Amino acid sequence: MKKCLLLSFFVIISIKTFCWGFYGHQKINYFAVYLLPPEMMVLFKPHIQFLTDHAVDPDKRRYAVAAEAPKHYIDIDFYGSYPYPDLPRKYDDAVKKYTEDTVVANGIVPWWIQIMQQRLTAAFKEKNQAKILRLSAEIGHYIADSHVPLHASSNHDGQHTNQKGIHGFWESRVPELLAEKEFDFMIGKAAYIDNIGKYVWERVLESGAASDTVLKGEAALTKQFPEDRKFAFEERNGKIIRQYSSDFTAAYNKLLNGMVERRMRLSISSIANFWYTAWVNAGQPDLKNLHTTAFSAEDLKEFEAMNDAWKNSASKGRAHE
């Protein structure tokens, strides 16, 4: 039984790849803080490092908890074709129609974000600082994932079209190479979201619709680049590794007409909108006067356990190294 559980755990983490990369997720949560009103800034700005560092906790948790993975994506094409009229937007209705196993197996990100939003709103109501920060960091991750086109496609790593590696290429390689130099992260202010469910589904449907462009663009460009120009041995994190060449990456970004930057910017404003909406719906509590300002022993233990799981299983399931 134990062996079986262990096996299914590794299968899950090896077939699903990573989201925005650590670099992208951390940047996204970081910039979201600057969109908040002053009443929220008093809490979020002093803790910007925590919100940045912990933007990647949900990915780390995937090494420890098998049930974590489906919270990061939805294989929306399983449910027909755009705009997926057959797929009920409410979780219970979707389960009734397809069974829970099927719904979970195809990913639950649009529903999971809504659960996280309820929890964050409750944390603001409780005026519980530790919970507010932890949940804000984590919901930021799931929201950002829902903006990634390949997180809304069953062909999530180009495995059906001989394009393996495209997942990390789009969400890690492109931003890591170009975000600092070319992307603009000056974005307006957080806005209140009237209907969270509707907002989430709109973003997910946009992602699903864009996944075709993501895949077809890479395939078209590959025809123009001989293998030795498509890939190159370049330095990454102090190591020389074979990866998509800078030329190919820049050409792809141009071909997509700034899509990666647009989705990254939208992720940032969406996160700020969710944080702001949770705070408003909780009655705009005074964030200068919170209790539970320190993390509990349980929180600290969980942070550590996630880190350990992530580090210790590095050689077994990391798809984007």
Name which of 164 and 320 has its Cβ closer to Zn ion. 320
Residue 58 CB, shortest distance to Zn ion, in Å, is: 5
Residue 75 CB, shortest distance to Zn ion, in Å, is: 14
Q: Which of these segments, 3-11, 65-73, 248-256, 297-305, binds Zn ion (CB under 5 A)?
A: 65-73
Q: Which of these segments, 118-126, 139-147, 269-277, 278-286, binds Zn ion (CB under 5 A)?
A: 139-147
Residue 73 CB, shortest distance to Zn ion, in Å, is: 8
Asked if residue 156 binds Zn ion (CB under 5 A), the reply is no
> Facing residues of 231 across strands?
244
Name which of 58 and 245 has its Cβ closer to Zn ion. 58
Measured from each CB, the residue nearest to Zn ion is 19
* 14's tokens: 């090896």
Asked if residue 171 binds Zn ion (CB under 5 A), the reply is no
Name which of 17 and 121 has its Cβ closer to Zn ion. 17
Q: Can you tell me the distance from the alpha carbon of 280 to that of 287, in angstroms, rounded to the nearest whole number?
A: 12
Asked if residue 176 binds Zn ion (CB under 5 A), the reply is no
Q: What angle do CA 24, 28, 30 make, to 5 degrees?
A: 120
Asked if residue 145 binds Zn ion (CB under 5 A), the reply is yes
Name which of 147 and 230 has its Cβ closer to Zn ion. 147
Asked if residue 72 binds Zn ion (CB under 5 A), the reply is yes
Q: Which long-range contacts (CB under 8 A, 24 or more apart) does 84-88 make?
A: 84/205, 84/208
Sign of CA dihedral 183, 210, 113, 124: positive
Q: Can you tell me the distance from the alpha carbon of 256 to that of 263, in angstroms, rounded to the nearest whole number?
A: 11
CA distances from 34 to 38, 279, 298 (A): 9, 16, 30
Asked if residue 138 binds Zn ion (CB under 5 A), the reply is no
Binder among 9, 13, 17, 19 for Zn ion (CB under 5 A):
19
Asked if residue 57 binds Zn ion (CB under 5 A), the reply is no
Name which of 72 and 147 has its Cβ closer to Zn ion. 72
Integer-rounded Cα Rg, in Å, for the chain is: 19
* 169's tokens: 């290429």
The DSSP element (H or E) to which 40 belongs, if any, is helix 38-44
Closest alpha carbon to 177 in 244, 128, 107, 83: 244
Interface residues toward Zn ion, by CB under 5 A: 19, 59, 72, 145
